[in-house]
Structure formats: structure tokens, C-alpha cells
């Protein structure tokens, strides 16, 4: 089964659970109502299913191709056509600032579209993910001229953007970046142009011919810059140089040397880029590159978290279709002939596990994006600050947990297919291959865990996480008063208790025993993310029960399954606090 039908009911339910209605009341979104949002989502769902999804298998089989004599990269015509239809439809501009031609919709609505795009074609969806992240960076850090030259054409899809961080000797440790930026002419202290020289690797969609220009955002060092991340600056380096009015000139000094041969996402060219005296211009302040780049990295991390949802949803749809076609064995209710495998309890359990996990992952990422919408647009400064804390806390959770779970869901999809799952022609193997990169790029999930305990828990003494746990306690009280959810509420209450105990230990230990805390950081992230995801499923079920929704029984069953299957099997405090010494002792 190679088709994709966007799960609009699930998406809209998730949007409302995390606060879409409240976000639409903000002054920034005046004139946008729920019906408008539904129309937008329905329109994109049609494009995703009818145009983008059919390009997915073709892109996987054909991949991206490099002409080593010219450095040009091409993709399958179907991929280019799908991108053109996406761009021509104005979908690139949905959440961008109206000042530069954007639609001005909440980021939450754009995230829903991004999820559908990723399910339809994960490899192609990376292109607009990076472009949207570039837009958000430039909206905040570019000067007036840069915004006028670059933003409109990134927003309308005429140009695309890339993120250039990684080098052969600088992966997760960006302090090791060695690409140089030499001022061109005049007083170096007042330079407007720089010669960028160095090699960047793992550059997603770093070269292609689908748009007339590519805008590279590149980390590099000025002469005499301090060592480490304190000495990194950020530069705009276009594929084609521009005149003062923004018209295209000659090819700049940036070329693709090689394409990586990857496990998955074959249609996405992952490039080795060589910058040789490429002309660039500074974005933000000298040596302020890391601060500016985080404006691109944080939304990109949420977008990658969504990819865990996307690949899980596509794997679920393929697996469910297969299970309702494939006959094998005989269930207790079958009197003759083989049964559909969807009738076997173990397959039912796997399908429900997949469905509930996709729901939970969707809610978790949407909650983080909703917090960003409020932080960026609420008229009250105190509420903006609270939501900023919430968004920063949720970002590592929403990047790591859904991508780890996306790999697990894709693996379950292969399992449901049995031996046929290991065969490429069924298409489910592609889900597993494509999913495996998501816990790695945009900051490995181990780094997300380090960020969570170090920057988001220890630094503010647990303020943001305890605010969130307090809100979950309100959900517990509400669910405890609904008969169908009272037992799930008890499981959630115990999970919150474990979270609070772990937070207290981290705050007490981090200053003097950072290694001990870091030894349990990934386990702690799993504990908190699972707890938050479970609370959202229970909140969603309570909404449906109180509204008298026809889906209430299903939502309650899914919340109960997650509560009894996942919340009751959370990592223990002992696992989180076991310490670095035990890890060291257990290794040869």
C-alpha cells in the first residue's frame, strides 16, 4: 500500500487539545478562525495525498544524482514536480510574516501541514523544513536590507535555504568549526562582505536545481576570533551572487563535492559543500553566530520531531492496510479458511500500539509548537516569558521522544508485514530506513537529553518543568472525576510523582556531580516525555467525553492503553540515579 490519506480528524483533535482555539484569539491571528484552519488543512491534505505522496517511492528508488564535472545535483522529475506544486500553491508562506508576503497563520497550523508533508514524502519535506527555519532566523537577525532581499523569495519558494554547521572534525561539537571568513576590502572592522572558505558536510538539500537560488547560512570564524563557540559568526552565502537589487549574478564559490550514500531519505541530497572564497555577508553580530543559529536550530528540531510522527503515521497506514488484506492462520472466530491477520490479538495490539504512539507523539510536538506561538505573539509579557520557558523545556522532549518512537513504530510496521516486511517491494522497509536518521540529525537525542537536564532543569532549578507538572496535576484531577478515565488518572499521578522526585535529585546533584546526572539524562528524558504525552492523551480523551463526541470511546481506550502499557512501565528513579561510576565499571 503506497498511498497516504491525511488523518485530518486526528490532526484537528490534537490541535484543539494543545490550545488552537486559544491561540486563534491572539491579536496576531485576528481574522483566522477554526473553519479557515480546517479549509487550509483540507487543501494541503489533498496536495499531500494526490501529488506529493506518489513521488515518495520514486524518489527513494532514484535518489539524488551528482554530475561530478559540474557539481550540479538533480533529483527525479516527480520530486521536482511535487516541489513546484507545493511552491506554486503558496504553501511555503503559510506561517511567515505577512509583512514579507507570508500568510500569517500560527506556527501550529504550519506544523500540521508539515506533518502531512513528511508522511507523504519525508525526504522532500526536509527542503521546506530548512527553508522555513532560515526564514525564522532571518526574520529575527537579518538587517533591513537583508530582509528585503532574501525573505520574500524564501517565503514564496523561489529560493530555498540550508543550514551549514557540520564539518569533518566538527559534528556535535561546533566549537571545533574551522571554516574561515576573511573581510573583503576596506576596514576589517566595518566589512560588509567576507570570503568564506572551508568544507561543510551533511548539508541537507545543499545543492539542487529545483529553485533558482539556494541561500546557505554558514557558521565560520573571523581572523583572531576566540576559540570554541564564542568565536563563531554566521554568514549568508548564496549559491548565486546578487546585485544590490537582489538580481542573480555569477555563480558563487560554493560547490558540491560529493553526495552521501545513505540508509534512507534517498531523494534528499546530503551534500559535501566546498566553500572557496565564496562571498558572504554577516548576519547578526560578530562572534554571535551560535545565538543566531539557535533561532534556526530550535524550530528545525521541532520539525524533526514531527518527522517521527510523520513516518509513524505512514507506517501505521501501510501496516493497517496490509493487515486487512493478508490472510494467515485462523482466529478463534473463523470457521473455515485463513483469517485476516488484523483479526489476531497480537496484531491488533501492535496496530493499537502504533496508533496510540503516533497520537501521543503528535500531541507532544504540537504542544511545543503551540507554546512557541504564544511566546511569540501573546500581548502580555509575563505570559510570553512563561510560554518561552515552556517551549524551551519541551523542545528536547519533542525532538527526541517522537523520533525514537517513530523508529519503534516503523519497526512494528515491518513486524506486522512479517517476512514481506523485509522485502523492499512492500514499501514498509523504506519507513524503517527513513526513520532511522531522525534520532540523529538536528542534535542527537543524547544531546537533547543533556540539554534537558543541564539547560532546562538545573539552570532554572526546575521552574519550567514544575510549572508543567502542576498543569498535568490539574488534568489528573479532571480525569479522576470521569469514571472512564479514573484508573488512567492514577497511573498518570504516579508518573508525575516519579518526575518530581527525579527533578529534585537533578537540581540537587547537577552542580557537584554533573556526570552522575548525565548518566541518567536519556532515561530522565524518556520519563518526562512519556508522562507529558500520557497527560495529553488523557486530556484529549476527557475533552471528547465531555463534548459527547462519537470518538469518545476510541479516545478513552487509547488513553487507557497508553496509561496501562506505558505509564506503568516508566523508568525508575534508581535507573536515573545509578551514576557514571556504575556505567564505567560495567564496560571493558
CATH code for the domain of 117 = 1.10.540.10
The 3-state secondary structure of 105-161 reads CCHHHHHHHHHHHHHHCHHHHHHHHHHHHHHHHHHHHCCHHHHHHHHHHHHCCCEEE
CB distance 400 to 445 below 8 Å? yes
In this structure, is the dihedral angle defined by the CA atoms of residues 325, 328, 329 and 335, taken in order, positive or negative?
Answer: positive
Beta-bridge partner residues of 312: none
Residue 244's domain comprises 159-293
Catalytic residue among 442, 467, 484, 546: 442
CA distance 558 to 541: 8
Cell 508525575 identifies what position?
Answer: 496
What cell numbers appear for 470 in the block? 502542576
Q: Which pLDDT belongs to residue 186?
A: 65
Report if residue 303 sits inside a domain.
no
For residue 1, pLDDT beyond 70: no
Tens digit of each residue's pLDDT (9 = 90 or more) over 490-541? 999 999 999 999 999 999 999 999 999 999 999 999 999 999 999 999 999 9
Pair (118, 168) in one structural domain: no
Report if residue 306 sits inside a domain.
no
Catalytic status, residue 442: yes
Pair (13, 135) in one structural domain: yes
Cell 479514573 identifies what position?
Answer: 486
Pair (67, 178) in one structural domain: no
For residue 336, pLDDT beyond 70: no
Pair (168, 136) in one structural domain: no
Report if residue 257 sits inside a domain.
yes
What cell numbers appear for 49 in the block? 495525498
Q: Which pLDDT belongs to residue 188?
A: 66
Higher pLDDT, 548 or 334: 548
Q: Which pLDDT belongs to residue 317?
A: 98
CB distance 163 to 217 below 8 Å? yes
| Three-state SS at 101 | coil
Compute the average pLDDT of residues 382-391.
98
CA distance 290 to 225: 13
Compute the average pLDDT of residues 192-213.
96
Out of 242, 265, 293, a domain closes at 293
Q: Which pLDDT belongs to residue 337?
A: 78
List b or e across 335-356, with b for residues whose CB sees 16 or more CB atoms inside 10 angstroms.
eeeebbbbbbeebeebbebbbb
Compute the average pLDDT of residues 326-340.
79
Tens digit of each residue's pLDDT (9 = 90 or more) over 215-234? 999 999 999 999 999 999 99
Q: How many CA atoms lie within 13 A of 542 on its CB side?
A: 23
- With cut-offs at 50, 70 and 90, classify the pLDDT of residue 101: confident
Compute the average pLDDT of residues 96-124.
94
Compute the average pLDDT of residues 348-377.
98
Report if residue 240 sits inside a domain.
yes
Compute the average pLDDT of residues 12-29.
98
Pair (195, 243) in one structural domain: yes
Q: Which pLDDT belongs to residue 331?
A: 73
Cα of first residue to Cα of last residue in the chain, in angstroms, is 46
Quick one: which of 82, 85, 74 has its CA closest to 209?
Answer: 74
Q: Note the Cα 549 to chain centre separation in Å.
A: 30
Report if residue 465 sits inside a domain.
yes
Pair (164, 127) in one structural domain: no
Domain count, the chain: 3
Compute the average pLDDT of residues 146-167.
95
CA distance 366 to 398: 9
CA distance 163 to 134: 8
Out of 254, 277, 293, a domain closes at 293
**Exposure of 26 by Cβ count < 10 A (0-12 exposed, 13-18 middle, 19+ buried)?**
middle
What cell numbers appear for 139 in the block? 526574520
Q: What is the CATH number of the domain that holds 219?
A: 2.40.110.20
CA distance 189 to 458: 38
CB distance 7 to 314 below 8 Å? no
Q: What angle do CA 165, 370, 43 make, to 5 degrees?
A: 90
Residues above pLDDT 70, as percent of the chain? 98
Q: Find the length of the chain.
A: 588
Q: What is the CATH number of the domain that holds 558?
A: 1.20.120
For residue 189, pLDDT beyond 80: no
Query: Would you put residue 548 in left (φ > 0), alpha (ψ -120 to 50) or beta?
Result: left
Beta-bridge partner residues of 327: 340
Q: Which pLDDT belongs to residue 174?
A: 82
Pair (117, 229) in one structural domain: no
List b or e across 2-24, with b for residues whose CB sees 16 or more CB atoms inside 10 angstroms.
eebebbeebbbbbbbbbbbeebb
CA distance 235 to 152: 18
Pair (98, 29) in one structural domain: yes
Pair (38, 167) in one structural domain: no
For residue 334, pLDDT beyond 70: no
Mean of all residue pLDDT scores within the chain = 95
Pair (79, 166) in one structural domain: no
Tens digit of each residue's pLDDT (9 = 90 or more) over 450-479? 999 999 999 999 999 999 999 999 999 999
Report if residue 404 sits inside a domain.
no
Pair (165, 256) in one structural domain: yes
Pair (454, 490) in one structural domain: yes
Q: Which pLDDT belongs to residue 145?
A: 93
Report if residue 368 sits inside a domain.
no
CB distance 245 to 223 below 8 Å? no
Report if residue 334 sits inside a domain.
no
Range list of H helices, 324-435: 345-377, 381-417, 428-435
Out of 240, 275, 293, a domain closes at 293
Amino acid at each position: 500500500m503506497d498511498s497516504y490519506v491525511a488523518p485530518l480528524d486526528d490532526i484537528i483533535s490534537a490541535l484543539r487539545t494543545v490550545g488552537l482555539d486559544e491561540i486563534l484569539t491572539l491579536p496576531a491571528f485576528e481574522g483566522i478562525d477554526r473553519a479557515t484552519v480546517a479549509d487550509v488543512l483540507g487543501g494541503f491534505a489533498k496536495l499531500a495525498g494526490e501529488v506529493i505522496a506518489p513521488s515518495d517511492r520514486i524518489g527513494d528508488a532514484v535518489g539524488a544524482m551528482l554530475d561530478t564535472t559540474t557539481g550540479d545535483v538533480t533529483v527525479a522529475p516527480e520530486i521536482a514536480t511535487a516541489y513546484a506544486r507545493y511552491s506554486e500553491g503558496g504553501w511555503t508562506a503559510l506561517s511567515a510574516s505577512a509583512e514579507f508576503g507570508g500568510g500569517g497563520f500560527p506556527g501550529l497550523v504550519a506544523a500540521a501541514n508539515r506533518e502531512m508533508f513528511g508522511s507523504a514524502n519525508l525526504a522532500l519535506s526536509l527542503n521546506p523544513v530548512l527553508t522555513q527555519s532560515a526564514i525564522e532566523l532571518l526574520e529575527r537577525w537579518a538587517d533591513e536590507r537583508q530582509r528585503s532581499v532574501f525573505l520574500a523569495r524564501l517565503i514564496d519558494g523561489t529560493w530555498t535555504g540550508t543550514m551549514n554547521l557540520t564539518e569533518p572534525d566538527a559534528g556535535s561539537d561546533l566549537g571545533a568549526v574551522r571554516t574561515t571568513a576573511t573581510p573583503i576590502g576596506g576596514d576589517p572592522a566595518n566589512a560588509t562582505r567576507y570570503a568564506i572558505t572551508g568544507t561543510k558536510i551533511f548539508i541537507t538539500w545543499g545543492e539542487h536545481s529545483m529553485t533558482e537560488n539556494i541561500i546557505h547560512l554558514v557558521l565560520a570564524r573571523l581572523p583572531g576570533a576566540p576559540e570554541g563557540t564564542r568565536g563563531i559568526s554566521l554568514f549568508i552565502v548564496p549559491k548565486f551572487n546578487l546585485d544590490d537589487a537582489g538580481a542573480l549574478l555569477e555563480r558563487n564559490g560554493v560547490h558540491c563535492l560529493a553526495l552521501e550514500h545513505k540508509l534512507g531519505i534517498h531523494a534528499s541530497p546530503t551534500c559535501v559543500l566546498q566553500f572557496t572564497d565564496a562571498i558572504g555577508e554577516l548576519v547578526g553580530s560578530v562572534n554571535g553566530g551560535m545565538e543566531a543559529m539557535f533561532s534556526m536550530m530550535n524550530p528545525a528540531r521541532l520539525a524533526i520531531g514531527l518527522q517521527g510522527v510523520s513516518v509513524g503515521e505512514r507506517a501505521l497506514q501501510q501496516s493497517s492496510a496490509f493487515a486487512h488484506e493478508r490472510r494467515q492462520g485462523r482466529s478463534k472466530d473463523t470457521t473455515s479458511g485463513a483469517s485476516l491477520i488484523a483479526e489476531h490479538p497480537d496484531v491488533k495490539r501492535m496496530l493499537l500500539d502504533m496508533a496510540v504512539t503516533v497520537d501521543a507523539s503528535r500531541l507532544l510536538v504540537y504542544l511545543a509548537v503551540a507554546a512557541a506561538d504564544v511566546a511569540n505573539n501573546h500581548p502580555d509579557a509575563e505570559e510570553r516569558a512563561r510560554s518561552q520557558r515552556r517551549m524551551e523545556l519541551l523542545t528536547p522532549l519533542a525532538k527526541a521522544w517522537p523520533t525514537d518512537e517513530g523508529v519503534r513504530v516503523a519497526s512494528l510496521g515491518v513486524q506486522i508485514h512479517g517476512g514481506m516486511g523485509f522485502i523492499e517491494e512492500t514499501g514498509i522497509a523504506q519507513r524503517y530506513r527513513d526513520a532511522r536518521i531522525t534520532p540523529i540529525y538536528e542534535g542527537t537525542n543524547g544531546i537533547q537529553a543533556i540539554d534537558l537536564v543541564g539547560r532546562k532543569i538545573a539552570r532554572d532549578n526546575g521552574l519550567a518543568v514544575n510549572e508543567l507538572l502542576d498543569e498535568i496535576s490539574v488534568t489528573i484531577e479532571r480525569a479522576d472525576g470521569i469514571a472512564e478515565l479514573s484508573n488512567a488518572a492514577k497511573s498518570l499521578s504516579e508518573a508525575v510523582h516519579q518526575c518530581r522526585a527525579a527533578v529534585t535529585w537533578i537540581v540537587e546533584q547537577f552542580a557537584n556531580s554533573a556526570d552522575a546526572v548525565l548518566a541518567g539524562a536519556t532515561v530522565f528524558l524518556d520519563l518526562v516525555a512519556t508522562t507529558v504525552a500520557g497527560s495529553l492523551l488523557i486530556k484529549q480523551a476527557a475533552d471528547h467525553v465531555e463534548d459527547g463526541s462519537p470518538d469518545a470511546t476510541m479516545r478513552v481506550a487509547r488513553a487507557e492503553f497508553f496509561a496501562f502499557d506505558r505509564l506503568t512501565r516508566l523508568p525508575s528513579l534508581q535507573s536515573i540515579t545509578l551514576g557514571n561510576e556504575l556505567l564505567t565499571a560495567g564496560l571493558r
